[in-house]
Chain A
Amino acid sequence: MPTRKLLLYFSKCETEKPIVYRLVKDYNLMINIFRAKVTPDEEGYLVLDVAGTDEDINNGLEYVKSFGVTVNETLKGVRWDSVKCTSCGNCIPRCPTGALYYPDKHALKVDFDPTQCIECLNCIKNCPFDACRSLF
């Protein structure tokens, strides 16, 4: 079953609608929420995996967009700055999924694979060089 990792951005007014509930109930989607920041009367973010048939996912996204929610498939909640990263490697043992990893075991240059990131935020708390940040 196709799975897509999405970042949803809610402008102020949409946060009280049961959007996730509808996505599950009406569009047969399996939702795995990694991280959410939804405060009444403020803008909100939701980072989640949606799994379902391509058709269900697309319909679900159309439904979400109809509320003015911005759906972003490329932007992640966790940002890794390749220029700031010195490849010190301190994050490697603390990243539970290998999203931060060494593509080459000899060169030991660190890279980031956003598709593996589950937004646990370990790296953000840990990075001595401020290379990992959260969008929200």
Chain B
Amino acid sequence: MKTYEEINEKIAAGKAVVLTADEIIDYVDKNGLETAAKEVDVVTTATFGPMCSSGCFLNFGHSKPKMRITEAWLDDVPAYAGVAAVDVYLGATQLRYNDPANLYHPGEFRFGGGHVMEKLVAGKKIQLFGLSYGTDDYPRREIRTWIDINDLNQAIMVNPRNCYQNYNVAVNCSEKEIYTYLGYLKPGMKNLTYCSATQLSPLLNDPFYMTIGIGTRIWIAGAHGHVYAEGTQHAPSCKRGENDVPMGGSGTLALTGDMKRMQPEFVRGVSLRGYGVSLAVGVGIPIPILNEAILKYTTVRDREILAPVVDYATDYPEATGKVLGYLNYEELKSGEVTFMDKEVKAGSLSSYAGALEIAEILKAEINDGRFLLSSPMAPLVREQSMKPLVIRENK
């Protein structure tokens, strides 16, 4: 039994024992749960994959004369300006003005909100174009200028949904090729895509949110941010395995962090052919080993985590809820699986190598005493389902 305070004291003294969620598996196998729970203080988890529901609040500061911006474009990508005079929210999935989208299917979606965020973090100049109707106190009606992240007063990433606990495996059972947010899927279930950091994934290592909650300090693309709320679509009441690990989407986290402290290699615009643009953000979350039960959960391994296989040609778009079956991540990571009597090539969208790198970076920061753990201010809800949107004939 340990407390957050005890672990933080050890971290500050440079004496904490920290392992990644990858390393802890063999460690516990070798030393046993009881001994390991005494010895190990922190297990680092991480994920680095495309995740829509990302964006950022930006404050430009005031021009001379002042302007109350009502419409704004950053590198021609529209940002939501209905926040305040010089505050905007830029969404990761926003397309660039005049992007032909899927007019010529499949569209390429080469540049959008996520790419602008990548440029900002990389310190590159972007064009701000803004319009207004003009007021007595804010007379300017038009602005065009070039700015980089250092010109901004604030650039705060706010991701309403991240770190999906588990996720669908996408296949295509139809006769024609399809393009989805999980990539290109050949007809006749010839390939599949999964998207998870698997045994490194934060919420797969803490399936009932015993340590990760609202207020938990996190590593987000190099900055130290925190979980500010449950993520949108947080739906922990789902089918779970004997090890309590969800067998579908389940929990999510809402994250925030200061973009001025982020590293560009972990904030990456994503182009999904035929689908749209998005953003991949690298996230690392430490799990304090307060007791044996918490440690036990962190020893989860790929073959014990099951993901639902869903047909993205019919069942997913039609929201039938049908699951074709389950595959574990050890099979999926092997690159080829047998499913419904077919040989299916397995591809990924989330970077395991990237997640491993982040778990190691976070481990090094904790070892060096640069990252202290915080206990949550409030726990995440453990019972909740996702509601569909009902289309009503009248009110």
Q: How far is the CA of A10 from the CA of B333 in the complex (A)?
A: 43
Chain A residues within 8 Å of B48, by CB = 86
Minimum C-beta distance from B124 to chain A (A): 14
Chain A residues within 8 Å of B351, by CB = 86-89, 108
Contact A89 B271, beta carbon cutoff 8 Å? no
Contact A93 B335, beta carbon cutoff 8 Å? yes
Minimum C-beta distance from A126 to chain B (A): 6
Judge whether B345 is part of the interface by a CB distance below 8 angstroms: yes
Contact B353 A109, beta carbon cutoff 8 Å? yes
Minimum C-beta distance from A73 to chain B (A): 30
Contact A108 B352, beta carbon cutoff 8 Å? yes
Minimum C-beta distance from A2 to chain B (A): 32
10 closest cross-chain pairs (CB), A and B = A93-B345, A89-B348, A87-B353, A109-B353, A93-B347, A108-B352, A86-B351, A128-B270, A87-B351, A88-B351
Contact of B347 among A92, A105, A109 (CB under 8 A): A92
Judge whether B273 is part of the interface by a CB distance below 8 angstroms: yes
Contact A88 B191, beta carbon cutoff 8 Å? no
Chain B residues within 8 Å of A89, by CB = 347-349, 351-352
Chain A residues within 8 Å of B49, by CB = 88
Number of interface residues of B (CB under 8 A): 30
Chain A residues within 8 Å of B191, by CB = 93-94
Q: Mark A96-124, 1 if CB is under 8 A from B, else 0.
A: 00000010010111100000000000000
Judge whether B255 is part of the interface by a CB distance below 8 angstroms: no
Contact A92 B50, beta carbon cutoff 8 Å? no
Contact A129 B356, beta carbon cutoff 8 Å? no
Q: Which of B192-217 contact A (CB under 8 A)?
A: 193
Judge whether A90 is part of the interface by a CB distance below 8 angstroms: yes
Q: How far is the CA of A74 from the CA of B348 in the complex (A)?
A: 30
Assess A128 versus B271: contact at CB under 8 Å? Given A92-B335, A108-B333. Answer: yes
Assess A129 versus B345: contact at CB under 8 Å? Given A87-B353, A92-B335, A107-B353. Answer: no
25 A-B contact pairs sorted by A residue (CB < 8 Å)? A83-B265, A86-B48, A86-B268, A86-B353, A87-B351, A87-B352, A88-B49, A88-B280, A88-B350, A88-B351, A89-B348, A90-B183, A90-B347, A90-B349, A92-B335, A93-B347, A107-B356, A108-B352, A108-B356, A110-B353, A125-B273, A128-B272, A129-B270, A129-B280, A130-B110
Judge whether B354 is part of the interface by a CB distance below 8 angstroms: yes
Contact B347 A94, beta carbon cutoff 8 Å? yes
Judge whether B46 is part of the interface by a CB distance below 8 angstroms: no
Assess A126 versus B273: contact at CB under 8 Å? Given A93-B191, A93-B335. Answer: yes
Chain B residues within 8 Å of A128, by CB = 50, 183, 270-272, 349
Chain A residues within 8 Å of B183, by CB = 90, 126, 128
Minimum C-beta distance from B131 to chain A (A): 31
Closest partner residue, chain B, to A129 (CB atom): B268
Q: Which of B328-355 contact A (CB under 8 A)?
A: 333-335, 345-354
Chain B residues within 8 Å of A109, by CB = 353
Minimum C-beta distance from B213 to chain A (A): 29
Chain B residues within 8 Å of A105, by CB = 333-334
Q: How far is the CA of A123 from the CA of B31 in the complex (A)?
A: 44
Q: How far is the CA of A126 from the CA of B348 in the complex (A)?
A: 12
Contact B184 A126, beta carbon cutoff 8 Å? yes
Q: How far is the CA of A125 from the CA of B349 in the complex (A)?
A: 15
Minimum C-beta distance from A101 to chain B (A): 10
Chain A residues within 8 Å of B265, by CB = 83
Chain A residues within 8 Å of B335, by CB = 92-93, 102
Contact B184 A88, beta carbon cutoff 8 Å? no
Q: How far is the CA of A54 from the CA of B246 in the complex (A)?
A: 60
Q: How far is the CA of A108 from the CA of B268 in the complex (A)?
A: 19
Chain A residues within 8 Å of B272, by CB = 128
Chain B residues within 8 Å of A83, by CB = 265
Q: Which of B296-344 contact A (CB under 8 A)?
A: 333-335
Minimum C-beta distance from B191 to chain A (A): 5
Q: How far is the CA of A99 from the CA of B83 in the complex (A)?
A: 48
Closest partner residue, chain A, to B356 (CB atom): A107
Contact B110 A86, beta carbon cutoff 8 Å? no
Chain A residues within 8 Å of B347, by CB = 89-94
Q: How far is the CA of A109 from the CA of B355 in the complex (A)?
A: 11
Closest partner residue, chain B, to A131 (CB atom): B268
Closest partner residue, chain B, to A109 (CB atom): B353
Which of B193, B265, B352, B356 has its CB near the most chain A CB atoms (within 10 A)?
Answer: B352
Q: Which of A70-89 contact B (CB under 8 A)?
A: 83, 86-89
